[in-house]
Chain A
Amino acid sequence: MEQALVLRDVRKSFGTTKAVDGITLTVPRGALYGVIGPNGAGKTTCIRMIMSILFPDSGELSVLGRRSSLDAKDRIGYLPEERGVYRKMKVGAFLTYMAQLKGVSAEDAEARVPTLLESMALPGTENKRCEDLSKGMLQRVQFIAAVIHQPDLLILDEPFSGQDPVSVRLLRERIEHEHRRGATVLLSTHVMANAEEMCQHVVMIHQGRKVLDESMLGLRRQFDTRTIHFEPLDANADPSPLQAVPGVERLDRHEDSFTITLSDGVDPAGAIGRLAMAVAPARVELARLRLEDVFIRIVAEGATGGDAARALRASLLAPGAEGALV
């Protein structure tokens, strides 16, 4: 009952293409999940099956405790990747219509529209026709259409695509607002920076399979403490003092910088100080885990199968794999 979303070995093929090849996933209530993966990975197919727009060939699905999202439509907010509006309709009328379809009374819907438009920096656009709005503005209108009925589960397929930075920030604020309100949020994106900063938990899909299912906290704990990027002030400086610093396990030379791997249990703060003393630095920084690196590594290696995540983690942890983390 506490799960907002459960997928058990869900499969879907189109002709000979296996779009989703056995995905199992659990999203607890109140969570903020990010689904990442390259184009064609199966994210949208997965989401469409969750929305009962497509139906799985096999496997089980439960949405908000129901067997099908059709039974819970009014409690789900959905922003599809391919989204549009009725071009000739007025913004206010369109939003009211969508809200009514989701079971909100006409009066309530009309009352909510102005506030929501204001919150999305679209004040006073109720009486404009949709076709008179810019593309970015329409994206925000579509987001309002997904949340106007205050859903328990919010599913956003590529919410940030085609948005300028200001809109992205606004949208993030609103998504976090919905999350604080108590909604479970599942969003797919390939803008990794957004997923990194917003999501509590990341699921990576590649070639129809789940290759990663991990909380951001867990990911950071595992990946982010042992690698340091070091760029000497003098590009021709002798690197041997660096190698001699206590706690340095390995030193890899790049064009004009070094990647330093620390031994287990070494305090990175102390190590950075010692390294800076050894060679005058232009730049010293602790390498942080970037989802983008994980993403690129999986795509590049074509990692699939159940062992993929383990293999990936191993490759990320292995010395000499830092190239992927730069």
Chain B
Amino acid sequence: MRRVWLVASREFMAAVANRGFVIGLLIMPAIFAGLFTLMPRLMNRPGEQIRAEVRVIDSTGQIFEGLRTALSPDAIARRRLDTTKRVLESTPEAVRDVAGSSAETAMDRALGTAPALTVVERPASADLQHEKSWLTEARPASAPRRLLVVVHPNAVVPKAGNEYGTYDIYVPENTDERIETTFYDGFRESALSARVRAQQMDRAQVEAVMRIPRATSTTVALDAERRTDVRFNRALPFVFAGLLVFGIMIGGQTLLTQTIEEKSSRVIEVLLSAVSPLELMAGKILGQMAVSMLVLALYILIGLALLSSFAMLGLLDPLLIVYLIVFFLVGYLVFASVFAAVGAAVNEMREAQSLMTPIMLALMAPWFFAAPIGRDPDTAFSIAMSLIPPVNTFAMMVRLASSTPPPFWQVALSIAIGLGSALAAMWFAAKVFKVGLLLHGKPPTLGTLIKWAKMA
């Protein structure tokens, strides 16, 4: 046991006390932060405004004037501000308070520079074929892009049966999609006003009639009432499955690379003169488990700190974190054993790839079933998945984080099955470890590994 402890502490220190670990720890949040700040800027190259000339054939005669107003730079800016406000409204209050006024500028930047559209009216009698040929004429690069729009005759006044029309749009090749979006917003504005006018109604009144603010939802439990947030609840299963997979991946991957390195650097036989293969494996698995726990704990703390700063801490059931740790331990033992076995069997990382494929697939599984199980946690599929190793830990975690947690006996059964498969995996890994460590030959297949396990 003393040796296991020594191996574990060395593994832990070797993994944690280096620059790579600190960088690795920060890289995930950094990538996300980077994506959120960079992506909008990359998508909308600022300063480069798209200009377009839109020719409109308006047979209703009631839309074009409104369209000209709705597509004026002022109107476009106003609509974007409205969008911003709407988006902000649907975010939780706390986020809005924290983000403050900077949110509006941020949104503005995210939407990019608005396109400038010049609308030109063509007579209703204009020949469509002739107008279309304008689109294919050669256009200097600096000239505005071109669009041709034909408004349906029933765009304002419906035909029989309340059937309203819209418009057809003709574009040359390589048209920017933002022009069409902007035009659609303007057309919608103008057409709505024209239709409401035609019905002799008041636009503001109609809008007031149509508006239903988002409901606040409260979970009523025996002891307390807790505010619920639909989107938060929907995201929860994904977040927990993600944390689980992530924690297992960190430890498992390091275990794999470290074992391969010990083999290829030939330090392994020196070690084996002091510790038995089983002690070595146990020490390594424990050491990497401590590393994973450290990382996981750090991410959980960051998550809790974020929730608490947005005053959303109440949304999270603390029992979930306990379950996360339990299922992490069980799942980690299963996967880490297999990672260790593969590491002991191969000579270099490249050879590990083919053996790793099934393991990686099992680790990817939660991304495929988190959504169906999270939505319907009580179907036969969900229950089956949460009992079949090695994905049972992930599936059960998703079910626990869903809106309808499973009965306790199923949770306990899943943990028991997980522990059973962890024992089986460790037994298998110990056999492979014993045989594989000193073999430097052609890379083994899964079949060879099973043969080793039987042999040892």
**Is B a genuine binding partner of A?**
yes
A residues adjacent to B (C-beta < 8 A): 48, 51, 53-54, 70, 73, 76-80, 82-89, 97-98, 100-103, 142, 145-146
CA distance A84 to B270 in the complex (A): 7
CA distance A189 to B273 in the complex (A): 19
Chain A residues with Cβ below 8 Å from B262 are 84, 86
Q: Which single residue of chain B is at the shortest CB-CB distance from A53?
A: B272
Chain B residues with Cβ below 8 Å from A82 are 266, 269
Asked if B6 is an interface residue, CB under 8 A from chain A, the answer is: yes
Taking A88-B14, A100-B6, A101-B3 as contacts, is the C-beta distance between A83 and B274 under 8 angstroms? no
| B7, B14, B267: the one within 8 Å of A85 (CB) | B267
B265 and A87 form a contact (CB under 8 A):
yes
Q: Which single residue of chain B is at the shortest CB-CB distance from A98?
A: B274
Residue count of chain B within 8 Å CB distance of chain A: 22
In the complex, what's the smallest C-beta–C-beta distance from B269 to chain A, in angstroms? 4
Chain B residues with Cβ below 8 Å from A146 are 273
> Which one of A51, A54, A80 has the greatest number of beta carbons of chain B within 10 Å?
A80
Chain B residues with Cβ below 8 Å from A102 are 274
CA distance A283 to B271 in the complex (A): 52
CA distance A88 to B10 in the complex (A): 12
A84 and B274 form a contact (CB under 8 A):
no
A83 and B270 form a contact (CB under 8 A):
yes
Chain A residues with Cβ below 8 Å from B265 are 84-87
| A48, A78, A84, A101: the one within 8 Å of B266 (CB) | A84
CA distance A268 to B88 in the complex (A): 109
In the complex, what's the smallest C-beta–C-beta distance from B452 to chain A, in angstroms? 13
Which B residues between 256 and 277 are near A, CB-CB below 8 angstroms?
A: 261-262, 265-276
A101 and B271 form a contact (CB under 8 A):
yes
Chain A residues with Cβ below 8 Å from B276 are 70
| B6, B14, B261, B269: the one within 8 Å of A83 (CB) | B269
Work out how many contacts link A and B, with CB atoms closer than 8 A.
61
A interface footprint on B4-18 (CB within 8 Å = 1, 0 otherwise): 001100100010001
CA distance A53 to B270 in the complex (A): 11
A86 and B267 form a contact (CB under 8 A):
yes
Q: Which single residue of chain A is at the shortest CB-CB distance from B258?
A: A86
A98 and B14 form a contact (CB under 8 A):
no
A80 and B269 form a contact (CB under 8 A):
yes
Asked if B236 is an interface residue, CB under 8 A from chain A, the answer is: no
Chain B residues with Cβ below 8 Å from A77 are 273
Residue pairs across A and B with Cβ atoms less than 8 A apart, 26 shown, are A48-B438, A53-B269, A53-B273, A53-B438, A76-B273, A78-B270, A78-B273, A80-B266, A80-B269, A80-B270, A80-B273, A82-B266, A82-B269, A83-B267, A84-B262, A84-B265, A84-B266, A85-B265, A86-B14, A89-B14, A98-B274, A100-B6, A101-B271, A101-B275, A102-B274, A142-B270
In the complex, what's the smallest C-beta–C-beta distance from B430 to chain A, in angstroms? 15
Which B residues between 239 and 263 are near A, CB-CB below 8 angstroms?
A: 261-262
Q: Which single residue of chain B is at the shortest CB-CB distance from A81?
A: B269
Query: A87-B261, A87-B265 provided; 5 other pairs, C-beta below 8 A?
Result: A51-B273, A76-B273, A78-B273, A84-B267, A86-B262
In the complex, what's the smallest C-beta–C-beta distance from B404 to chain A, in angstroms? 49
CA distance A103 to B6 in the complex (A): 10
B14 and A73 form a contact (CB under 8 A):
no
CA distance A77 to B10 in the complex (A): 21
Chain A residues with Cβ below 8 Å from B271 are 101
Taking A53-B269, A85-B267, A86-B267 as contacts, is the C-beta distance between A97 and B6 under 8 angstroms? yes
B14 and A101 form a contact (CB under 8 A):
no
Q: Which single residue of chain B is at the shortest CB-CB distance from A86?
A: B267
In the complex, what's the smallest C-beta–C-beta distance from A87 to chain B, in angstroms? 6
Taking A97-B6, A100-B6, A101-B3 as contacts, is the C-beta distance between A73 and B267 under 8 angstroms? no
A73 and B18 form a contact (CB under 8 A):
no
| A70, A76, A100, A145: the one within 8 Å of B270 (CB) | A145
CA distance A84 to B438 in the complex (A): 13
Which B residues between 54 and 97 are near A, CB-CB below 8 angstroms?
A: none
In the complex, what's the smallest C-beta–C-beta distance from A57 to chain B, in angstroms? 12
In the complex, what's the smallest C-beta–C-beta distance from A75 to chain B, in angstroms? 12
Q: Which single residue of chain B is at the shortest CB-CB distance from A102?
A: B274
Taking A73-B274, A76-B273, A89-B14 as contacts, is the C-beta distance between A83 and B3 under 8 angstroms? no
| A73, A85, A100, A103: the one within 8 Å of B273 (CB) | A73
Chain A residues with Cβ below 8 Å from B18 are 88
In the complex, what's the smallest C-beta–C-beta distance from B271 to chain A, in angstroms? 7
In the complex, what's the smallest C-beta–C-beta distance from A101 to chain B, in angstroms? 4
Q: Which single residue of chain B is at the shortest CB-CB distance from A149?
A: B274
B269 and A101 form a contact (CB under 8 A):
no
Which B residues between 1 and 36 are near A, CB-CB below 8 angstroms?
A: 2-3, 6-7, 10, 14, 18
> Which one of B10, B265, B267 has the greatest number of beta carbons of chain A within 10 Å?
B267
Chain B residues with Cβ below 8 Å from A98 are 270, 274
In the complex, what's the smallest C-beta–C-beta distance from B62 to chain A, in angstroms? 77
In the complex, what's the smallest C-beta–C-beta distance from B282 to chain A, in angstroms? 14
Chain A residues with Cβ below 8 Å from B14 are 86, 88-89
In the complex, what's the smallest C-beta–C-beta distance from A23 to chain B, in angstroms? 20
Chain B residues with Cβ below 8 Å from A83 are 266-267, 269-270
Which B residues between 428 and 456 are near A, CB-CB below 8 angstroms?
A: 438
Lowest 4 CB-CB distances: which A-B pairs, in order?
Answer: A84-B266, A78-B273, A101-B274, A80-B269
CA distance A146 to B270 in the complex (A): 8
CA distance A86 to B18 in the complex (A): 14
CA distance A102 to B6 in the complex (A): 11
> Which one of A78, A84, A146 has the greatest number of beta carbons of chain B within 10 Å?
A84
Q: Which single residue of chain B is at the shortest CB-CB distance from A101?
A: B274
Q: Which single residue of chain B is at the shortest CB-CB distance from A77?
A: B273
CA distance A97 to B14 in the complex (A): 12
CA distance A70 to B275 in the complex (A): 8
Q: Which single residue of chain B is at the shortest CB-CB distance from A80?
A: B269
CA distance A145 to B265 in the complex (A): 16
Taking A53-B438, A84-B266, A88-B14 as contacts, is the C-beta distance between A101 and B272 under 8 angstroms? no
In the complex, what's the smallest C-beta–C-beta distance from B65 to chain A, in angstroms? 75
CA distance A100 to B261 in the complex (A): 22
CA distance A146 to B18 in the complex (A): 27
CA distance A88 to B257 in the complex (A): 14
